[in-house]
Chains A and B, each alone.
Chain A
Amino acid sequence: MPEVRIRKRVLSVEEILHEGGPTAEKPLRRAAALVVIHNPFAGRYVEKIEGFMDDLKPLGLEMARSLIAALGNDAKVVEGYGKGAIIGTAGELEHGALWHVPGGYAMREALGGAKAIVASTKKVGGLGTRLDVPITHINASYVRSHFDSMEVGMTDAPRADEILLALVMTTGPRVHARVGGLKASEIKGEDGLR
């Protein structure tokens, strides 16, 4: 399979102290790792693409670890995660789907086992396309306080023959979460849902 050719990486961290209400004692932090790679399947229909998922695993791990490092080098602070991809216009949506396995594997591996499915989204777009990456609790998808999202994108990517890959991690609930539902303290942690 083709090698993974990286053009550019962006790491961004948001610290949210308040959103009009009381200032949080511990600000919510969200971090996103973005990497722009060459799309080896751009410009034509390729039937067998699955092998590229394995090729992406080391990159996924590196991105997941960079997020943990950006959040203070302690995997225990991570409570939410999500992933996404933007495929340049010479590619297909299916090329973005190649990110599901390596992106999810990488975050679980780096976090030492997380039970919930990694929320995700993807689309085809041009330079500067923004993607709202969905975020849920790492151990129980139904934790309502941790339903969140982070907008990511890069001014000069993806070019037509590129894919922008994204991983996102957060350190807690929305800053003023108060709409009830399952709480993080009530997680059973058996099925990844509750």
Chain B
Amino acid sequence: MKAKIRKIATFLEETRTEAGRQIDPPTRRAAAVAVIENPYAGQYVEDLSELMVIGEELGELLTQKAVAALGIPGPSAESYGKAAAVGENGELEHAAAVLHPKLGTPVRRVLGKGVALIPSSKKRGGPGVALDIPLGHKDAAFVRSHFDGMEVRINDAPRANEIMVAIAVTDSGRPLARVGGLTKDQIKGEDGLR
């Protein structure tokens, strides 16, 4: 493995009531986060291909961890998202190199499908910085019940020369979704949008 991983964390959230109402079955989302060394910290490097390969490795590893935390087969996942936080000696472009060129393919392989864009966010920050991972339905970006987000943080990451990379997967939408829009049973699943 090219990625030099210091730490991996997984988070599993289950919401059982919201606004005093029972959520049955509970809505569940999981995130897997890796803290890796940033090979380009402290310097300007033109070619970021090593981080792209690392993105490919983490795409597979973190998606498997998230799905395992949910205890479901990959194809049962409903929505997904990704995010990265770069430590103080890195550039936002380093987060982009991990997240965008190669990470998506293995995510989709683990989840069976995933024709929708994987929503993403990135930032630079110090230890304990909160990452808000955006979430959207994996086969139809316009499914309104699945627009969501999951906050994750690790108190000791990212250090100055590290990058924190996160993938979130759910088996459900928001707990009391009721603002209309496209519903998941209306998905055509051809263009990734509807």
Total of A-B residue pairs, C-beta within 8 Å: 49
Interface size of B as a range: 10 to 19
Residues of chain A lying within 8 A (CB to CB) of residue B15:
7-8
Residues of chain B lying within 8 A (CB to CB) of residue A5:
17
Residues of chain A lying within 8 A (CB to CB) of residue B151:
155
Query: Which of B129-157 touch A at CB < 8 Å?
Result: 130, 151, 154-155
- B16 near A151 with CB under 8 A, answer no
Within the complex, the shortest CB–CB distance from B68 to chain A, in Å, comes to 10
Query: Which of A1-37 touch B at CB < 8 Å?
Result: 5-19, 27
Residues of chain A lying within 8 A (CB to CB) of residue B10:
12-13
Residues of chain B lying within 8 A (CB to CB) of residue A6:
16-17
Within the complex, the shortest CB–CB distance from A23 to chain B, in Å, comes to 9
Contacting residue for B13 out of A8, A16, A18, CB 8 A = A8
In the complex, whether B12 has a CB less than 8 A from a CB of chain A is: yes
- A13 near B9 with CB under 8 A, answer yes
- A7 near B7 with CB under 8 A, answer no
- B12 near A17 with CB under 8 A, answer no
In the complex, whether B14 has a CB less than 8 A from a CB of chain A is: yes
- B11 near A12 with CB under 8 A, answer yes
Interface size of A as a range: 10 to 19
Known contacts A130-B155, A151-B155: does B5 contact A17 (CB below 8 Å)? yes
In the complex, whether B182 has a CB less than 8 A from a CB of chain A is: no
- B7 near A14 with CB under 8 A, answer yes
Known contacts A130-B155, A151-B155, A155-B151: does B9 contact A9 (CB below 8 Å)? no
- A10 near B155 with CB under 8 A, answer no
| Alpha-carbon gap, A12 to B29, bound state (A) | 12
| Alpha-carbon gap, A192 to B122, bound state (A) | 47
- A16 near B7 with CB under 8 A, answer yes
Closest Cβ neighbor of A34 among chain B residues: B13
Residues of chain A lying within 8 A (CB to CB) of residue B155:
130, 151
Contacting residue for B8 out of A9, A11, A14, A151, CB 8 A = A14
- B12 near A12 with CB under 8 A, answer yes
* Interfacial residues, chain A to chain B (CB-CB below 8 A): 5-19, 27, 130, 151, 155
Task: Write 20 A-B pairs (CB below 8 A) sorted by A numbering.
Answer: A5-B17, A6-B16, A6-B17, A7-B17, A7-B18, A8-B15, A8-B17, A10-B12, A10-B14, A11-B11, A12-B10, A12-B12, A14-B7, A14-B154, A15-B8, A17-B7, A27-B8, A151-B155, A155-B130, A155-B151
